[in-house]
Structure 1
Amino acid sequence: MQIAISVGIDAALITFSLALAAFGLAIIYGLVGVINLGHGAMLTLGAYLSWYAVDSGAPFFAAVLFAAVGVGLIGVVFEHLVIRHFYHRPFDTLLLTWGFFLVSTEAIKIVFGTSFRNVPSPFPSAIHTSFYDFPAYKTFVAGVTIVLLLATAFVLLKTSIGIKIRALIQNREMASLLGLNIAATYKMVFGFGCAMAGLAGALLAPMLSIDPYIGNVFLIRSFFVVIVGGIGQILGGTLLGSFFIGGSETILALVSSQVVAQVAVFFIAILILRFRPQGLLGEK
């Protein structure tokens, strides 16, 4: 029983960590249709900006905010200068965001070097209970992920901004005829998605050793999360896809090696997409 509880909690914590990493990609891909191959580089930028702020003496949470805002501003500038001209050409945005990844990775190497960096955890201890000791920082990250998902759900479903965004998704031409500023809405969504990628990189940094390719660890998994969960299903799809990719991998690793578990999960994900291309929660 203790083993089952431990595995279940580990799977849940990994699910929320992966959901946090994939959230920015889900927003940009699901709402504006851009396949953002620069997502991994934005995670990496968030991690490095948080390390730089902490190393300069800033408190951890101020560093996280600095990283989110910094990557968000970079995303807004990138969207304004490049992406906004190619929204109707998805293959071109694919290549452009891949180019952003390559340029950003080399810039990170030039500015920060290639040696490993570390961000101290603000909660290094555990939360002790009668049946399990929860890792404090991973539990905090899970809580932040839940709050972000609920806040985004509230904005999309209960606010005028959310109504405008949903109108844009359903019918771009009609939304434009009704007076919605398409360019500004796209810019806002793209910038927010980039900020969430930077926030994820900053919050995940204490769990990992930071190097110029740290975002690559999450890029492929984030794509599987978004596609398996269902494109456009930003909330439920992200959580379900994260559990399938991250949680299932944790469970399968009990009876096999980590590598075999990863291969098995990705193989099953490919089978799901073969027979249900719209994802688990996506509409036909």
Structure 2
Amino acid sequence: MLNSLLSIAVDLTLITLVLALAAFGLAIVYGLVGVINMGHGALLTLGAYLTWQATAWQIPFPLAVLFAACGVCVIGLIFEHLVIRHFYERPFDTLLLTWAFFMIVTEVIKIVFGTDLRTVSNPLPGAIDLGGVRVPVYRATVALIAVGVIGATAWLFYRTSLGIRIRGLIQNREVAGLLGLNISLTYKIVFGIGAFMAGLAGGLISPMLSIDPYIGNVYLVRSFFVVLVGGMGQLLSGTLIGSFFTGGSETLFALFSSQAVAQTAVFALAILILRFRPNGILKNK
């Protein structure tokens, strides 16, 4: 009985942290600059493919993931500079534009990489014994990386002068501009960080699944639920709580039902929560 409970707790923790990593880039862009980035899933997919390509070039896996994250960041910055920066005051337009970006990137991935499934070798095979529970080494490592990345980014936004400027811009754009803050550059930095995080997540997740042009679709939907349920603008606690609710509760429901029923139950419960708490579980002050 104790081993079963420990196994469930470990599974919940790992799933929550991996999903938090996948959703964090969206949480940054959506929560801080208000862009409904429907292209987040495509950026994550692109990160996975670039990691696969880099490993195919015999680049060590850690450098391959860094290469993928930087590559996705550059693509995100180009998109922001050419398109998104002209529409920050028109959120519905950014939704349509980022959705178009999602479709374009997906088709480009098909053209460049094809539609065959790709796989990235697990860089840390094996498992560790945790009180009688076998925990995959790589999945546990990704969970720890997720904690470090989310914590470091939250520190950047809440404990540094750059973070203070960004949050000041969010609270009052006009006053921030009058005080000399470079608004367009600040927005660009936030969008770039969000794109980097999406590419990083795609690269780190790539050994856990088979890579195809549509892997970002599932993560896009779940990432939006994470951000909305956790609370828009709540980068650290909101992302973790939203990830636990979306990923962790699905695991609990799956213990007593099929996976399809579990997913349906989670989404229905999320809608119910948003009905009574439109700003999410942690209301943004």
The TM-score with structure 2 as length reference comes to 0.98
**What corresponds to 2:251 in structure 1?**
250
Query: Which residue number in structure 1 is paired with residue 278 of structure 2?
Result: 277
**Which residue does the alignment assign to 1:57?**
58
Q: Which amino acid aligns with 1:211?
A: D
Tell me the matched-pair count.
284
**Superposed counterparts of 1:115-264, under 5 Å:** 115-264=116-265
Return the alpha-carbon distance in structure 1 between the equivalents of residues 234 and 247 of structure 2. Answer: 18
- 3-state DSSP class of the match of 1:215? helix
Following the alignment from structure 1 to structure 2, what is the Cα–Cα distance between the partners of residues 152 and 173? 25
Q: Secondary structure at the match of 1:238?
A: helix
What are structure 2's unaligned runs of at least 5 residues? none
CA distance in 2, matches of 1:51, 1:185: 32
Partner amino acid for 2:120?
V
Equivalent in the alignment of 1:70: 71
- 1:219 and 1:109 mapped to 2: Cα distance? 18
Cα distance between partner residues in 2 of 1:271 and 1:217: 21
User: What is the distance in 2 between the residues matched to 1:218 and 1:229?
Assistant: 16
- The one-letter code matched in structure 2 to 1:136 is V
Provide, for residues 185-235 of structure 1, a one-character-per-residue CA deviation record: whole Å limited to 9, x for no partner: 000100110010000000000001000001011010000000000011111
Question: Which residue identity does 1:161 align to in structure 2?
Answer: L
What do residues 212-264 of structure 1 show as CA deviations (whole Å, max 9, x unaligned)?
00101101000000000001111100000000000000011000011100000
- 2: CA distance between counterparts of 1:93 and 1:115? 31
- Consecutive unaligned residues in structure 1, runs of 5 or more: none
Match of 1:265 in 2: 266
Percent of residue pairs identical = 65
Q: Distance in 2 between matches of 1:130 and 1:143?
A: 19
1: distance between equivalents of 2:160 and 2:245? 31
Matched position secondary structure for 1:234: coil
Partner of 1:114, secondary structure, is: coil
Number of the residue aligned with 2:43 = 42
User: SS of 1:29's equivalent?
Assistant: helix
Letter in 2 for 1:120: S
Question: Which stretches of structure 1, 4 residues or longer, exceed 4 Å deviation after superposition?
Answer: none
Secondary structure, aligned partner of 2:135: strand
| 1:110 aligns to 2:111 (yes or no) | yes
Aligned AA (1:118) = T
